[in-house]
Structure 1
Amino acid sequence: MLSSSFVSGLLEQRLSRPWILWGGTLTMLVSGVVLVTSPHSSGTLLSAMMIGMAGTTTLIAVQALLSERYGSRRATVLVEANTVASVAMSMVPLGLGALVLMGGNWRMVQVLPVLIVLGLVLVYRQQNIPVQEHSSTTTGAGRLPGAFWQYFLMITMGVAVEWCILGWTGTMLEEAGGMSREVAAQALSVLLVAAVFGRLATSRLSQMYSVPTLLLGAVASTTLGVALIWALPTGMASWVGVALAGAGVAQFFPLGVAGALGTVPERASLASARTTLAGSVAVLVVPSSLGWVADQVGIYLAYSGIFVLLLLLTVLIVWAQWQSRAAAQPQGYKKRKSSGAGREVQGEGSTLPAREL
């Protein structure tokens, strides 16, 4: 994933977007077949690496394409796309279980993506995929603005929270709450279901509220959920906490990506690659660091570190929201702001009390 965040920019400059999308999909498909059929560990490792690189490159292109195509509606579309991805991800263990019940083995699960890709080719083979402009403006020369890097940090913090919750909530419920491993695993399934419903709700709310506002709502839901898990790791309260945390934390990545791409809509490909880099760094570093802390002080105290990440995320969101509102203020108000609050000022065709602007 990390390498794809940089390689994708070079691919965008040399290949058309249809080649990237279909090529990445077919590379994942072939690598998946190699993964389940290779008799040697080297083949398994190589195919797994190719799946990761091709999948990440395809994701980067899809995010950029959706952002360019839907413009101001990118938040709604990206959340809905991630909802579909969540549902598809949940189908893998269900499909694997069904194959085993029918007398098959885990290697046969690769038949499912083969059928899906063949279906996509049949349905969308005539679909025109917009071709990006190969210029320094669209593909990556120059620096991204500060507003983008604010969202970059938000994505890093949000994905870190998400993977800490996914990786360590089961251990928290088992060790601090006294649950059996089986019950703790069932509780995590509630988190995944809540994530899907949370994204469905957010896709509707995104048509009415801004990305920072929705992110603050997601932080509130996640914080309340984590607080219930941490303070009351036994009984029904912990299950409610898992549901609230799942509904909130699932919004961080798609909303963060939507906000980041919205800061540089003309450079969506580069911005999409960098947002993937943010998520990759978070997944690689933070959950394992929390695990190391848990080895030193115990899971109960280590789990409280999620509150620190949520606090940092909240500060970043409020900062971005404040800057957005400041940028949206009429020029007349900005020039006369120091003359005193409460006076009426002229601002681009409207006369409003200064406190309302």
Structure 2
Amino acid sequence: MPRLVHDRITWLAYAQLGLWGFFLYGFGPVVPLLRDEQGTTAAVAGLHSTALAAGALAGGALFAPVARQLGRRPTIWLGLAGVAAGVTGLALLRPLPATLTVVMVIATAGTLVVSGVNVVLTTRHGRAAPAALAEANAACAGMGILAPLVIGLSVNAGWGWRPGMAVVVALIALVAVATLTPGVRRPRATATPAPRTRVTVARGARRLPKAYWIAWVLMGVTGSIEVCLSLWTADVLRSHAGMAPGAASAAVAAIVCGMFVGRLFGGRVALRLRPVPLLLAALGVSLAGFTVFWVASAGWLAIVGLVVLGLGNALHYPLAISLALAVAGDATDQAAGWSAYSMGVGFGIAPVALGWVADGVGAHLAFLLLPGFIAVAALLAVRLGRALPAPAPAEQPTPTPV
């Protein structure tokens, strides 16, 4: 069984991904407040989500060349500096074109962070990478629970949302000072390499193996599940479970809570089970949770279903990205960059499709698209399992640069 070593580089990567998670999960509650300030419609305010997707695509294109020039860990710090600068700009600017531009810049920088952390953890931990990525995303989800609370407290105190969002700038500065201050021992640039497989790509090559593209589509499908839940769950809770608007919006946090717990403990499970069977099990848990949520006519039961749904969803992305990077051979930087496109496509298309169906039959019936996404993801996971090379025998790790 592979062993996950929590060294300084690993803890730092967890912290860096958590910093991005603070903005990502905190920005959702900010969008309605921006809409009120700017006097726009909900549809126009929703363009901020489009800006996020566009920024993710730009960051995906930039990651590989920037990482080649600067190195992976400096690229992560560059991304965090961009997030801090962007959040500062978001706090200072008011016009809609300006906030849309700044959000796109933040998403571009954040994608550099996500891609860099994924590659560093995959390169460092080898067969234990799925566990490391699950725990890193647990840190991200944990900040997703904290960020809306901090922003809500700031608003309730009469300060507005800006001081609450600005907390992430202070946290980025704090982590940077703690890590980069002279005299503080920095992580050494050594790593445990990923195990050798029959799928290899020569350094600098642009072609990625078939198994990678199956994982790429899988990330887009599972990402579609997550974004549809984020945007439309509150409507179903109001229309079918009879919850008040405020309570329905707050109840969406049940998904994030389930994801946090699932990723926290899923990392341990990932050390014992192979990724594809574990991913299929996670999809089964998601389907069970969705079933409870969809049939529930009582708010408390629907929330229970959402927690279970979050537990299953927790491992979708960490397992899919770990599989994608594992089969990419020496092209991990390129593979990490392309993965942002998958998530961007899923985030951009699925909510529009579900909304179009919801206009005709209502949000509750339209949500039946989600079991379809889960079924497609399961088929892709099975196909991916067949495309993966046979596991190589365990090797003694030798230090290699991250």
Task: Bin the TM-score by the shorter chain.
Answer: 0.7 to 0.9
**How far apart, CA to CA, are the structure 2 residues paired with 1:88 and 1:219?**
24
Q: Which residue of 2 aligns with 1:284?
A: 348
- After TM superposition, the structure 1 stretch with the greater mean CA deviation from structure 2, 100-109 or 259-268, is 100-109
Amino acid of the structure 1 residue aligned with 2:350: V
Identity of aligned residues (%): 25
**Out of 318, 326, 332, which is 1:262 matched to?**
326
Structure 1 residue 307 corresponds to structure 2 residue 371: yes
Structure 1 residue 215 corresponds to structure 2 residue 274: no
Preserved CA contact (<8 Å) 1:99 1:106: yes
Q: Deviations over 1:210-249 (max 9, x none)?
A: 1111111111111011112222343543222111111111
**Out of 143, 163, 187, which is 2:207 matched to?**
143
Q: Deviations over 1:120-146 (max 9, x none)?
A: 1222115257499xxx944x5331101
Preserved CA contact (<8 Å) 1:68 1:265: no
SS in 1 for 2:252: helix
- Decide which structure has the larger Cα Rg and report it: 1
Q: 1:164 to 1:100 in 2, by over 3 A?
A: closer
Q: Which residue of 2 aligns with 1:90?
A: 145
Q: Deviations over 1:13-37 (max 9, x none)?
A: 3333343122211121112111101
Q: 1:294 to 1:40 in 2, by over 3 A?
A: closer
Preserved CA contact (<8 Å) 2:86 2:103: yes
Q: Deviations over 1:136-174 (max 9, x none)?
A: 944x53311011111111111111111112222221121
SS in 2 for 1:26: helix
- Pairs aligned (count): 325
Q: Which residue of 2 aligns with 1:120?
A: 175
SS in 2 for 1:21: helix
TM-score norm. by structure 2 comes to: 0.75
Q: 1:170 to 1:98 in 2, by over 3 A?
A: closer
Preserved CA contact (<8 Å) 1:79 1:199: yes
Deviation at 1:182, TM superposition (A): 2.5
Deviation at 1:281, TM superposition (A): 0.8
Amino acid of the structure 2 residue aligned with 1:157: V
- After TM superposition, the structure 1 stretch with the greater mean CA deviation from structure 2, 76-85 or 240-249, is 240-249
Preserved CA contact (<8 Å) 1:162 1:250: no
Preserved CA contact (<8 Å) 1:202 1:214: no
Structure 1 residue 63 corresponds to structure 2 residue 118: yes
Q: Which residue of 2 aligns with 1:336?
A: none
Matches within 5 A, 1:294-333: 294-324=358-388, 327=390
**How far apart, CA to CA, are the structure 1 residues paired with 2:188 and 2:101?**
30
Q: Structure 1 unaligned segments of length 5 or more: list them.
A: 331-357
Q: Structure 2 unaligned segments of length 5 or more: list them.
A: 1-55, 192-200, 394-402
Q: Which residue of 2 aligns with 1:7?
A: 62
Amino acid of the structure 1 residue aligned with 2:137: N
Preserved CA contact (<8 Å) 2:276 2:382: yes
Matches within 5 A, 1:1-357: 1-125=56-180, 126-128=185-187, 130=189, 137-138=202-203, 140-324=204-388, 327=390
Q: 1:211 to 1:270 in 2, by over 3 A?
A: same
